[in-house]
Structure 1
C-alpha cells in the first residue's frame, strides 16, 4: 500500500482508538488531572472530541478556534466525536493523492491526546503502535525548539528501546514514566 493511502488508513485507526478512549471516560473521571498541564479529563475529552470537526474546518479554509469547546454535554462526547470522525475520513478519501499525506498531522494530534486521556484515566486501553510511529515521524519533521509553543514541552529522554507511544509522547514533551 502506498504511503499516501497509508496516511488515511492510519488516521482512521487513530480516530478509532481516540473514540474508544472517549467512550471509556466515566462521570467520576471528569475532574481528574491529565498530562496536559492545567487540563482536567473533562477539558481534554472536550478538546479531543472537537478535533475531527476542527480538522474539517481547516480543510475547508475556515478559521478554527482550538480553545472553543464542542458545546455538547459530556455524555455525548463519544457520539459527537465519532460522527465528525466519519466525516473527516470521508473527506480524506475524496482528496487527491498529493494532499493525503497531510492527514499525518491529524494522526499526531490524535495520538498524543489519546495517550494523554488514557494516562489520565489510568485504565488499560490498547494503543496502536503504527499510529504512534506515524505521529512521531510527522512531529520530528517540523517540531523544533523554536516552534513548540505552549502545547509541547521540551523533549523528555527515554530509553532507546522505549515503546512507540513512549517515544511519541516524550518527543511531545510528556514524561511517559
Structure 2
C-alpha cells in the first residue's frame, strides 16, 4: 500500500469506527454542519467518495449534485462507507489512477494529492462532526490534523468558495492544533 493510501485508509478506518459506534437513536441528532443530521454527514461523505471514485475511473470529475445528503438507511451507512473506502484505497494503490490529475479547490492535483489533502480534510472534519453530533470520541489524529491544517491554510479562499465551510473563527488562547484546525473551518469545538 502507498504511504498516502495507508494514511487515508487509517483515517477512513477511524471514521468507520465512529459510524459503527453511533447509537441507533442518535442518527437524527443535529451535527455541527448547519441543518445536517449525523446520518446526513455520513451520507455526504459516502456520496463524495463515490463521486471521486467514479470520476477517477471515468476521467470526468464533476461537482457534487444539488443534494449531497441523500437518504440512506442507518444499517447501510457503515457498509456503504466501507465499500467506498475500499474502492478509493484500491485507486490510490494503482499508479494509473493515483497519478491522474484533476481540478480541486487546492488547484490541479493528482488523485493521490487530492486524497492526501482534501480527502483527509473531509475525513477529519466529518469524523469530528459525527462524534460531536452523537456524543462520541472527538479526538482526531494529531499528526494528520497538523499536516492537513498546514496544507489547507494557503487555500482558505478557495475552500470558502466551495460553500462547504463557515467562515473561520478565532480559536481560544492556547488552543491545541485540533481546535485551531476546526476553528479555521468554521467549527466551534
TM score, norm. by length of structure 1: 0.83
> Per-residue CA shift, 1:20-62, capped at 9, x if unaligned?
1111222210221110001111211211233322221232324
For residues 47-126 of structure 1, what are the structure 2 equivalents within 5 Å? 47-60=44-57, 61-66=60-65, 67-69=67-69, 72-95=72-95, 99=110, 100-103=112-115, 104-124=117-137, 126=139
Please identify runs of 4+ aligned residues in structure 1 that moved more than 6 A. Answer: none
Q: Contact 1:133–1:164 (CA<8 Å) still a contact in 2?
A: yes
Aligned length: 172
1:142 corresponds to? 155
Change (3 A) 1:54 1:78: same
Alignment RMSD, CA only?
Answer: 2.5
Distance 2:22 2:82 in 1: 15
Of stretches 58-67 and 115-124 in structure 1, the one that deviates more from structure 2 is: 58-67
Distance 2:77 2:36 in 1: 16
> Per-residue CA shift, 1:73-114, capped at 9, x if unaligned?
211110110111011011011126753222221111111111
2:38 corresponds to? 41
Of stretches 142-151 and 30-39 in structure 1, the one that deviates more from structure 2 is: 142-151
Structure with the largest fraction of strand = 2
Q: Secondary structure at the match of 2:89?
A: helix
Please list every run of 5 or more consecutive structure 1 residues that lacks an aligned counterpart in the other structure.
none
